[in-house]
């Protein structure tokens, strides 16, 4: 195994005169499958393509983009594992002081709106060069989208980046199809049919609908000015983000230009996922970063194992539905165990596997058998408002995987740090997952995310009712007492989510005081592209029903809601009192402290 070239010397040492692709990324180069750059580059390598990595190039001029010479087939561009604007700014739009995806955690190594900037430099470096954009930043901005940082609707990033093709979702299949088409001599502008991609189109709406399985979205001119049109467009996109019955979507910009989203790719099968995660990754950051302090992001994932993809949880504030999709696919037990064995051979392995999970750790397959034939339901969720009667609720397979990993020689402990859906756990009457979770897979503290307790806010979040969390908390406590273990629970909550007003924040604060939960972290709702909650934040309406949604938009109210959840902190007392006075809850002044 060896890192892919990061300098021209590396490339020449391999005997290459030129790479087939130069992959440009906003992250430092980490050759680990938790990083999209590693997966895409290793997948291309597997199919015989030569890939050079241009990590965190100097974007202030074009010179760095000529480091390897002109790539034979084109540039591939991503912003990194996190949207560059989220990476740079807090929800209050303050500049962040650390970048965990950069050497030594140092900030300033990538531009704002990195995909647009990098793509422009690639086009400037070599006239007529194909540019394919992908990753989370491109995926979630693939069509017209609300941009929180500018507080306006921006057009498809495909157009602003002046790129040729956009890959959305998980791109392992799409990138090979594109590579093979380019390698055959096709022009990038003619590669228009590949699933999981967005391209420019010039046909009329009538010509598109004549193809069948096509839906015309409200045009850009309407979406950018009319919130009702924006909501309608979002609802159509949401319902078609599904590989079996999802339609081609056309967003018209003028008479001569449209942006066309092809239907999603089918999620990778178990066998395909196994192949992807068994590629020859180095498993860490490039050694050139060692003197700079390494790359902090590796700490959480270096000894973690990805076991699944996709999520049928359906949380309104989460972009996973829009990026990875709602259908869950998982790796085989055998593949996961083999990865665990490889981890035990690493010189710095101490016996602890930090996670065996994914977007939601205790999901191991499609929610029900019908999804494999008919696709995910367009008009209902799997878990909200309560688990669907058709759902397969069973932790047996996941328990089998965990037991096998625990049994690998050299493994002392296997933790679960990715999210556990406690409502799914509580609905399981077939296994005693809670007992094994407490006995073997917690490092003293379990982290869960009830997010809120107000019924109307939980409904907006598409999260289970408060009583389910209370039942879970009780069972967790009783299980630990039965096992003679002193283990705790940290709960995560979101303030100022669409639907939440000051009265809801007070309801949550009183719950926290009554139950003794002290939030470790409170996240003020962050309106990132692609989520249902962001659509509601911008339009102040439910895009599916047209119902009005209350939204806290002023900085003062946001700070009040956040302060109420940390009412116990001395520095928040003045803000808490101000909030209580604003809603006439003078009876609580002195109580919430």
Q: What is the per-residue pLDDT for 1?
A: 57
The pLDDT of residue 593 is 82
pLDDT of residue 367: 95
- Whose tokens are 């999209």? That residue is 36
> What's the pLDDT at 355?
96
Q: Which of 94, 91, 86, 92 is nearest to 115 (CA)?
A: 86
The structure tokens 């974007």 sit at: 59
The residues, ordered by sequence, that sit 6+ positions from 494 with a Cβ below 8 Å of its Cβ are 317, 451, 452, 461, 522, 523, 524, 525
562/525 Cα distance (integer angstroms): 10
Asked if residue 309 lies in contact with residue 358, where contact means CB atoms within 8 angstroms, the answer is yes
R_g (Cα) of the chain, nearest Å: 24
Closest C-alpha among 167, 185, 187 to residue 176: 167
CA pair distance 346, 352, nearest whole angstrom: 12
> Coil, helix or strand for 358?
coil
Dihedral sign for Cα 363, 368, 372, 378, please. negative
Domain ranges of the chain: 8-193, 303-443
> pLDDT (tens digit, 9 = 90+) per residue, 390-438?
999 999 999 999 999 999 999 999 999 988 999 999 999 999 999 999 9
Supply 389's token pair: 């009667």
User: According to the model, what pLDDT value does residue 168 have?
Assistant: 98
From first to last of the 593 residues of the chain, give the pLDDT tens digit: 599 999 999 999 999 999 999 999 999 999 999 999 999 999 999 999 999 999 999 999 999 999 999 999 999 999 999 999 999 999 999 999 999 999 999 999 999 999 999 999 999 999 999 999 999 999 999 999 999 999 999 999 999 999 999 999 999 999 999 999 999 999 999 999 999 999 999 999 999 998 789 999 999 999 999 999 999 999 999 999 999 999 999 999 998 999 999 999 999 999 999 999 999 999 999 999 999 999 999 999 999 999 999 999 999 999 988 899 999 999 999 999 999 999 999 999 999 999 999 999 999 999 999 998 999 998 889 999 999 999 999 999 999 999 999 999 999 999 999 889 999 999 999 999 999 999 999 988 998 999 999 999 999 999 999 999 999 999 999 999 999 999 999 899 999 999 999 999 999 999 999 998 877 678 899 999 999 999 999 999 999 999 999 999 899 999 999 999 999 899 999 999 999 999 999 999 989 88
Predicted model pTM: 0.96
Among candidate residues 131, 197, 124, 213, the one with its CA nearest the CA of residue 164? 131
Q: What is the DSSP string of 515-537?
A: HT---S-EEE----TT-HHHHHH
For 303-443, which CATH class? alpha beta
Q: Is 76 helix (H, G, I), strand (E, B) or coil?
A: strand
Write out the CATH class of domain 8-193.
alpha beta
DSSP characters for 422-481? HHHHHH--S--HHHHHHHHS-SSEEEEEEE---HHHHHHHT---HHHHHHHHHHHHHHHH
- Burial of residue 165, with CB atoms counted within 10 A of its CB: 0-12 exposed, 13-18 middle, 19 or more buried: buried
**Cβ neighbours of residue 557 under 8 Å, at least 6 residues apart?**
496, 502
Taking the C-alpha atoms of residue 496 and residue 550, their distance in angstroms, rounded to an integer, is 10
Q: pLDDT of 342-367, one tens digit each?
A: 999 999 999 999 999 999 999 999 99
DSSP secondary structure of 251-277: EEEETTEEEEEPPPPPPPPHHHHHHHH
Residues present in the chain in total: 593
Q: Are 576 and 593 in contact (CB under 8 A)?
A: yes
Q: Spell out the residues 6+ positions from residue 42 whose beta carbon is closer than 8 angstroms to its own.
A: 31, 279, 280, 281
Retrieve residue 564's tokens. 């109420």
Cβ count near 106 (within 10 Å): 14
**What's the DSSP call for residue 378?**
S
C-alpha to C-alpha distance for 321 and 326, rounded to whole angstroms: 5
- Residue 255's pLDDT is what? 87
pLDDT score for 251: 98
Q: At 413, phi and psi to the nearest 5?
A: -155, 145
Q: Output the CA torsion 73→77→80→83 (10° steps).
A: -160
Angle at CA 433, nearest 5°, toward 427 and 435? Answer: 125
């Amino acid at each position: 195994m060896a890192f892919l070239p990061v300098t021209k010397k590396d490339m020449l040492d391999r005997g290459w005169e030129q790479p087939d692709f130069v992959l440009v990324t906003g992250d430092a180069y980490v050759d680990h499958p938790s990083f999209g750059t590693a997966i895409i580059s290793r997948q291309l390598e597997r199919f015989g393509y030569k890939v050079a990595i241009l990590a965190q190039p100097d974007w202030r001029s074009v010179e760095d983009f000529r480091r390897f010479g002109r790539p034979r087939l084109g540039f591939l561009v991503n912003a990194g594992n996190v949207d560059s604007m989220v990476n740079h700014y807090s929800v209050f739009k303050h500049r962040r002081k650390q970048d965990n995806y950069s050497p030594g955690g140092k900030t300033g190594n990538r531009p704002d709106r990195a995909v647009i900037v990098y793509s422009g430099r690639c086009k400037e470096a070599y006239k007529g060069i194909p540019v394919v954009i992908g990753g989370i930043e491109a995926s979630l901005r693939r069509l017209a989208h609300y941009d929180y940082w500018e507080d306006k609707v921006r057009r498809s990033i495909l157009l602003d980046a002046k790129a040729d093709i956009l890959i959305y979702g998980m791109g392992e299949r799409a990138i090979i199809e594109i590579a093979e088409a380019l390698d055959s001599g096709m022009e990038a502008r003619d590669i228009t049919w590949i699933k999981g991609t967005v391209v420019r189109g010039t046909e009329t709406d009538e010509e598109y609908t004549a193809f069948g399985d096509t839906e015309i979205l409200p045009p850009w001119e309407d979406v950018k000015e009319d919130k009702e049109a924006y909501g309608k467009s979002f609802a159509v996109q949401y319902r078609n983000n599904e590989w079996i019955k999802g339609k081609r979507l056309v967003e018209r910009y003028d008479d001569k230009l449209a942006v066309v989203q092809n239907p999603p790719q089918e999620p990778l099968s178990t066998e395909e996922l196994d192949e992807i995660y068994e590629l020859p990754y180095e498993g860490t950051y490039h050694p050139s970063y060692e003197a700079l302090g390494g790359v902090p992001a590796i700490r959480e994932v270096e000894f973690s194992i990805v076991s699944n993809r996709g999520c049928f949880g359906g949380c309104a504030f989460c972009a996973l539905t829009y990026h990875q999709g709602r259908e869950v696919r998982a790796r085989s037990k055998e593949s996961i165990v083999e990865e665990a064995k490889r981890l035990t051979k690493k010189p710095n392995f101490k016996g602890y596997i930090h996670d065996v999970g994914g977007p939601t750790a205790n999901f191991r397959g499609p929610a029900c058998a019908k999804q494999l034939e008919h696709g995910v339901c367009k008009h209902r969720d799997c878990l909200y408002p309560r688990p669907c009667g058709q759902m397969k609720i069973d932790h047996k397979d996941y328990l089998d995987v965990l037991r096998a990993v625990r049994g690998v020689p050299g493994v002392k402990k296997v933790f679960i740090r990715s999210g556990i859906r406690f409502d799914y756990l509580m609905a399981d009457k077939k296994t005693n997952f809670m007992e094994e979770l407490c006995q073997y897979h917690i490092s003293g503290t379990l982290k869960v995310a009830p997010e809120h307790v107000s019924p109307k806010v939980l409904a907006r979040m598409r999260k289970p009712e408060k009583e389910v969390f209370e039942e879970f908390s009780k069972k967790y406590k009783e299980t630990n007492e039965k096992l003679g273990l002193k283990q705790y629970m940290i709960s995560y909550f979101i303030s100022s989510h669409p639907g939440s007003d000051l009265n809801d924040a007070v309801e949550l604060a009183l719950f926290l005081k009554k139950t003794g939960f002290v939030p470790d972290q409170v996240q003020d709702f962050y309106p990132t592209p692609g989520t249902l909650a962001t659509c509601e934040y911008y339009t102040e309406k439910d895009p599916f029903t047209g119902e009005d949604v209350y939204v806290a938009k002023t900085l003062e109210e946001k700070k009040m809601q956040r302060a109420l959840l940390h009412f116990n902190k001395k520095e928040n007392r003045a803000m808490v009192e101000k909030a209580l006075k604003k809603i006439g809850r003078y009876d609580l002044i002195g109580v919430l402290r």
